[in-house]
Amino acid sequence: MGTRMTIEEIVGSLESGMTIGIGGWGSRRKPMALVRAVYRSALTDLTIVSYGGPDVGLLCAAGKVRKVVAPFVTLDSIALEPHFRAARQRGTVEFTEYDEGMFMFGLLAAAHRLPFLPTRAGLGSDVMRVNPGLRTVRSPYDDGEELIAVPALTMDVALVHVDVADTRGNGRYLGPDPYLDDLFAKAAGRCFVSCERMVEPGELGGPPQTLLVSRMHVTGVVETPGGGHFTDCHSTHGGQGRDEMFQLHYAASAADPQAWAAFADRFLSGDEAAYRETVRQWREEGR
């Protein structure tokens, strides 16, 4: 059962060298408040498992990442995350790239504590060429079909973000897509949930199919209003989804070392309350 925690307590429980799974999808419903806290921390040598977006890029920019396991790293409306691209071009970050379906099967295998799961996804593609360590298995039944054996994506910790959670760690999403956050929670040794709004047990409301994360799989939960910013989260940015103008500012700043230093100094040098206030001021200034 989840325990109510602070951002600092959650990140303080992490260790360098860990494999950390991050929920969401591209630039959508990412636990950015927790990611920003990892950015500010002394953690390093991390392996990040993610349907990657600015979570991966920001941690690459901070030099926190040794390896990324992902099917993509994108800002959605901007095709390739700029900090991740720069890290790959410099050769400073290892990358294991899977097909999106293969990645899901890796999460499923880890969630069920299996060493691998077989799938057709990726057969006949360059996935096998760029991942020479992948193996195939043959069906033991009459069909004898050859399948890719996707290894379990085991993780020490998962970080996920939801719209509403209760103080026990049950999490509900309000947007149109659950993504794979429930699998991240089940696949990791520990899971920490951030939420836009926290309620008492029994007050989550809504239809049961929107209850995405169970307290059974949650170690800690923290209320972080605006914690998904700038990614697309139903409850953030006045209910308008992704803050596209701020994302453009982030991406433009990433293209120039001096501009990025100024961005980081302005938006990322303080705690989460300071981040929210600085973003508010940026909007009032007309960007």
- Per the model's pLDDT, the better-predicted residue between 208 and 141 turns out to be 141
Residues near 257 by beta carbon (within 8 Å), at least 6 away in sequence: none
Cβ-contact 260, 254 below 8 angstroms: yes
Distance CA(189)–CA(203), nearest Å, equals 27
Question: How many other C-beta atoms lie within 10 A of the C-beta of residue 134?
Answer: 18
Please state the rounded mean pLDDT for residues 69-92: 97
Spell 61-86 as b/e; 16+ CB within 10 A means b: bbebbbebbbbbbbbbebeebbbbeb
Residue 63 region by backbone torsions, left for phi larger than 0, else alpha for psi between -120 and 50, else beta: left
**71 pLDDT tier (thresholds 50, 70, 90):** very high
The string of pLDDT tens digits covering residues 147-205 is: 999 999 999 999 999 999 999 999 999 999 999 999 999 999 999 999 999 999 999 98
Cβ-contact 167, 195 below 8 angstroms: no
Strands (E), the chain: 3-4, 19-22, 46-50, 65-70, 94-97, 116-119, 135-138, 146-151, 155-166, 171-172, 188-199, 211-213, 220-223
CA-only gyration radius of the chain, Å? 19
Question: How many other C-beta atoms lie within 10 A of the C-beta of residue 277?
Answer: 11
Place of tokens 């959605």: 76
pTM of the model: 0.96
Instruction: Report the SS3 class of residue 138.
Output: strand
